[in-house]
Amino acid sequence: MELERTRICRDLHDELGVGLTEIGLLGDLVSRRDSGSDKKYSDEISARARDLVGSLDEIVWAINPTKDTSAALTDYFIRYAQNLLGNANLRCRLETGSAQLDGFFDANVRHQLFLAYKEALNNVILHAHATEVRIRVGLEAGQWLIAVEDNGCGFDKPATQGSPDGMVGMRERLAKLGGRCEIRSAPQQGTSVIFLLPVKTSSQN
Protein backbone atom coordinates (compact mmCIF):
# COMPACT_ATOMS: atom_id res chain seq x y z
CA MET A 1 0.00 0.00 0.00
CA GLU A 2 2.78 2.43 0.86
CA LEU A 3 4.57 1.64 -2.40
CA GLU A 4 1.37 2.35 -4.32
CA ARG A 5 0.84 5.64 -2.48
CA THR A 6 4.44 6.61 -3.29
CA ARG A 7 3.95 5.78 -6.97
CA ILE A 8 0.76 7.84 -7.15
CA CYS A 9 2.49 10.82 -5.51
CA ARG A 10 5.36 10.63 -7.98
CA ASP A 11 3.06 10.37 -10.98
CA LEU A 12 0.88 13.26 -9.84
CA HIS A 13 3.92 15.45 -9.28
CA ASP A 14 5.81 14.50 -12.43
CA GLU A 15 2.88 14.47 -14.85
CA LEU A 16 0.10 16.74 -13.63
CA GLY A 17 2.25 19.10 -11.58
CA VAL A 18 4.76 19.79 -14.32
CA GLY A 19 2.01 20.06 -16.95
CA LEU A 20 0.01 22.60 -14.96
CA THR A 21 3.15 24.65 -14.32
CA GLU A 22 3.83 24.71 -18.06
CA ILE A 23 0.27 25.88 -18.75
CA GLY A 24 0.73 28.72 -16.29
CA LEU A 25 3.99 29.78 -17.92
CA LEU A 26 2.46 29.63 -21.41
CA GLY A 27 -0.43 31.76 -20.19
CA ASP A 28 2.06 34.33 -18.88
CA LEU A 29 3.85 34.40 -22.25
CA VAL A 30 0.60 34.95 -24.14
CA SER A 31 -0.47 37.64 -21.69
CA ARG A 32 2.76 39.60 -22.15
CA ARG A 33 2.41 39.50 -25.93
CA ASP A 34 -1.31 40.27 -26.04
CA SER A 35 -2.55 43.72 -25.09
CA GLY A 36 -6.02 43.27 -26.59
CA SER A 37 -9.36 42.36 -25.09
CA ASP A 38 -8.42 38.66 -24.90
CA LYS A 39 -5.60 39.33 -22.44
CA LYS A 40 -7.92 38.74 -19.49
CA TYR A 41 -8.49 35.15 -20.63
CA SER A 42 -4.79 34.32 -20.70
CA ASP A 43 -4.46 35.93 -17.26
CA GLU A 44 -7.31 33.75 -16.00
CA ILE A 45 -5.68 30.65 -17.48
CA SER A 46 -2.41 31.40 -15.69
CA ALA A 47 -4.15 32.12 -12.38
CA ARG A 48 -6.27 28.98 -12.59
CA ALA A 49 -3.23 26.84 -13.43
CA ARG A 50 -1.41 28.18 -10.36
CA ASP A 51 -4.43 27.48 -8.15
CA LEU A 52 -4.52 23.91 -9.43
CA VAL A 53 -0.79 23.47 -8.79
CA GLY A 54 -1.41 24.53 -5.18
CA SER A 55 -4.33 22.12 -4.84
CA LEU A 56 -2.28 19.31 -6.35
CA ASP A 57 0.53 19.98 -3.88
CA GLU A 58 -1.95 19.57 -1.03
CA ILE A 59 -3.24 16.27 -2.45
CA VAL A 60 0.27 14.89 -3.00
CA TRP A 61 1.26 15.84 0.53
CA ALA A 62 -1.86 14.21 1.98
CA ILE A 63 -1.31 10.82 0.35
CA ASN A 64 2.50 10.69 0.55
CA PRO A 65 3.35 7.94 3.10
CA THR A 66 6.60 9.68 4.05
CA LYS A 67 4.50 12.56 5.47
CA ASP A 68 2.55 10.46 8.00
CA THR A 69 4.59 11.74 10.96
CA SER A 70 3.86 14.58 13.36
CA ALA A 71 7.11 16.28 12.34
CA ALA A 72 6.11 16.30 8.67
CA LEU A 73 2.63 17.58 9.54
CA THR A 74 4.05 20.40 11.65
CA ASP A 75 6.51 21.42 8.96
CA TYR A 76 3.85 21.52 6.23
CA PHE A 77 1.31 23.43 8.32
CA ILE A 78 3.88 26.03 9.35
CA ARG A 79 5.16 26.59 5.82
CA TYR A 80 1.61 26.85 4.50
CA ALA A 81 0.68 29.49 7.10
CA GLN A 82 3.84 31.49 6.48
CA ASN A 83 3.22 31.62 2.73
CA LEU A 84 -0.52 32.32 2.93
CA LEU A 85 -0.37 34.94 5.67
CA GLY A 86 2.71 36.56 4.15
CA ASN A 87 0.89 37.02 0.85
CA ALA A 88 -1.97 38.61 2.80
CA ASN A 89 0.45 41.01 4.56
CA LEU A 90 -0.27 39.57 8.00
CA ARG A 91 2.40 39.02 10.63
CA CYS A 92 2.78 35.37 11.55
CA ARG A 93 4.04 34.21 14.96
CA LEU A 94 4.93 30.55 15.23
CA GLU A 95 5.12 28.45 18.38
CA THR A 96 5.95 24.76 18.41
CA GLY A 97 5.97 22.57 21.50
CA SER A 98 9.26 21.32 22.88
CA ALA A 99 7.97 17.79 23.55
CA GLN A 100 9.28 15.17 21.15
CA LEU A 101 6.68 12.81 19.77
CA ASP A 102 6.64 10.13 17.12
CA GLY A 103 3.02 10.76 16.18
CA PHE A 104 1.29 9.03 13.29
CA PHE A 105 -1.33 10.72 11.10
CA ASP A 106 -2.67 8.72 8.17
CA ALA A 107 -3.64 10.25 4.83
CA ASN A 108 -7.31 10.79 5.68
CA VAL A 109 -6.57 12.39 9.06
CA ARG A 110 -3.98 14.74 7.59
CA HIS A 111 -6.25 15.70 4.68
CA GLN A 112 -9.29 16.45 6.86
CA LEU A 113 -7.20 18.25 9.47
CA PHE A 114 -5.56 20.36 6.78
CA LEU A 115 -8.94 21.35 5.29
CA ALA A 116 -10.09 22.56 8.71
CA TYR A 117 -6.79 24.39 9.28
CA LYS A 118 -6.99 26.00 5.84
CA GLU A 119 -10.52 27.20 6.58
CA ALA A 120 -9.40 28.76 9.86
CA LEU A 121 -6.62 30.69 8.11
CA ASN A 122 -8.91 31.81 5.30
CA ASN A 123 -11.45 33.07 7.84
CA VAL A 124 -8.76 35.25 9.41
CA ILE A 125 -7.81 36.74 6.06
CA LEU A 126 -11.37 37.33 4.90
CA HIS A 127 -13.19 38.34 8.08
CA ALA A 128 -10.96 39.10 11.07
CA HIS A 129 -9.43 42.45 10.03
CA ALA A 130 -6.35 41.29 11.94
CA THR A 131 -2.74 42.43 11.72
CA GLU A 132 -1.15 39.39 13.38
CA VAL A 133 -1.82 35.66 13.61
CA ARG A 134 -0.26 33.25 16.08
CA ILE A 135 0.09 29.61 15.05
CA ARG A 136 0.66 27.07 17.82
CA VAL A 137 1.45 23.42 17.15
CA GLY A 138 2.38 20.82 19.73
CA LEU A 139 1.23 18.56 22.54
CA GLU A 140 -1.30 19.56 25.18
CA ALA A 141 -2.49 17.11 27.82
CA GLY A 142 -1.56 14.17 25.62
CA GLN A 143 -3.39 15.52 22.58
CA TRP A 144 -2.10 17.08 19.40
CA LEU A 145 -2.96 20.79 19.36
CA ILE A 146 -3.09 23.17 16.43
CA ALA A 147 -4.25 26.71 17.18
CA VAL A 148 -4.92 29.68 14.90
CA GLU A 149 -5.24 32.86 16.99
CA ASP A 150 -5.70 36.37 15.60
CA ASN A 151 -5.84 39.89 17.05
CA GLY A 152 -8.78 40.92 14.89
CA CYS A 153 -12.31 42.18 15.47
CA GLY A 154 -13.73 38.98 16.96
CA PHE A 155 -17.44 38.29 17.32
CA ASP A 156 -20.02 37.61 20.04
CA LYS A 157 -22.35 35.09 18.40
CA PRO A 158 -21.14 31.50 18.17
CA ALA A 159 -21.70 29.76 14.87
CA THR A 160 -24.61 27.32 15.02
CA GLN A 161 -25.07 26.78 11.33
CA GLY A 162 -23.14 27.25 8.15
CA SER A 163 -21.62 25.62 5.13
CA PRO A 164 -19.56 22.41 5.35
CA ASP A 165 -16.42 24.54 5.05
CA GLY A 166 -17.41 27.07 7.72
CA MET A 167 -17.07 27.02 11.49
CA VAL A 168 -19.61 24.24 11.88
CA GLY A 169 -17.73 22.32 9.21
CA MET A 170 -14.48 22.59 11.16
CA ARG A 171 -16.15 21.16 14.25
CA GLU A 172 -17.67 18.33 12.25
CA ARG A 173 -14.36 17.41 10.61
CA LEU A 174 -12.57 17.19 13.95
CA ALA A 175 -15.42 15.22 15.54
CA LYS A 176 -15.24 12.64 12.75
CA LEU A 177 -11.52 12.26 13.46
CA GLY A 178 -12.16 11.65 17.15
CA GLY A 179 -11.04 15.13 18.17
CA ARG A 180 -12.70 18.48 18.73
CA CYS A 181 -12.59 22.08 17.54
CA GLU A 182 -12.89 24.91 20.06
CA ILE A 183 -13.73 28.43 18.87
CA ARG A 184 -13.25 31.29 21.32
CA SER A 185 -13.95 34.91 20.48
CA ALA A 186 -15.19 38.23 21.82
CA PRO A 187 -15.75 41.61 20.14
CA GLN A 188 -12.48 43.47 19.61
CA GLN A 189 -10.53 40.67 21.34
CA GLY A 190 -9.71 38.47 18.39
CA THR A 191 -10.58 34.85 17.73
CA SER A 192 -8.92 31.55 18.62
CA VAL A 193 -9.62 28.36 16.68
CA ILE A 194 -8.14 25.34 18.44
CA PHE A 195 -7.99 21.81 17.04
CA LEU A 196 -7.36 18.97 19.48
CA LEU A 197 -6.75 15.45 18.22
CA PRO A 198 -5.71 12.18 19.90
CA VAL A 199 -2.26 11.10 18.81
CA LYS A 200 -1.53 7.61 17.59
CA THR A 201 1.85 6.00 17.09
CA SER A 202 2.65 3.85 14.09
CA SER A 203 2.43 0.75 16.28
CA GLN A 204 -1.26 1.48 16.95
CA ASN A 205 -2.19 1.38 13.27
Q: In CATH, what number is assigned to the domain containing residue 100?
A: 3.30.565.10
Structurally, how many domains does the chain consist of?
2
Which of 66, 81, 106 is at the close of a domain? 66
Same domain, 13 and 97: no
CA distance 158 to 2: 41
pLDDT digits (tens, 9 = 90+) for 152-201: 999 876 544 444 448 888 999 999 999 999 999 999 999 999 999 988 76
Same domain, 56 and 90: no
Q: What is the pLDDT of residue 99?
A: 56
Range of the domain at 27: 2-66
Do 176 and 164 meet the contact criterion of CB atoms below 8 Å apart?
A: no
Q: What is the pLDDT of residue 162?
A: 41
Same domain, 193 and 95: yes
Quickly list H helices, the chain: 2-11, 18-33, 39-63, 70-87, 107-123, 167-176
Which of 66, 93, 113 is at the close of a domain? 66
Same domain, 116 and 183: yes
Indicate whether 204 pLDDT > 60.
Answer: no
Same domain, 107 and 126: yes
Alpha-carbon dihedral sign for residues 83, 57, 192, 145: negative
Residues in the chain: 205
pLDDT digits (tens, 9 = 90+) for 77-133: 999 999 899 989 999 999 987 555 667 888 889 889 999 999 999 999 999 999 999
88 to 92, 132, 171, 200: CA distances (angstroms): 10, 11, 25, 34
Q: 16 falls in which pLDDT band (50, 70, 90)?
A: low
User: DSSP secondary-structure letter at 125?
Assistant: I
Which of 66, 81, 108 is at the close of a domain? 66
pLDDT digits (tens, 9 = 90+) for 21-67: 667 677 777 677 666 666 777 777 777 777 777 777 777 777 788 88
Q: What is the pTM of this model?
A: 0.74
Same domain, 62 and 72: no
Angle in degrees, CA 168, 174, 175, rounded to 5: 85
95: part of which helix (H) or strand (E)?
Answer: strand 91-96
Same domain, 87 and 186: yes
**Nearest-CA neighbor of 106 among 66, 75, 77, 140?**
66
Same domain, 77 and 48: no
Same domain, 43 and 95: no
Q: Which residues pair with 200 in a beta bridge?
A: 104
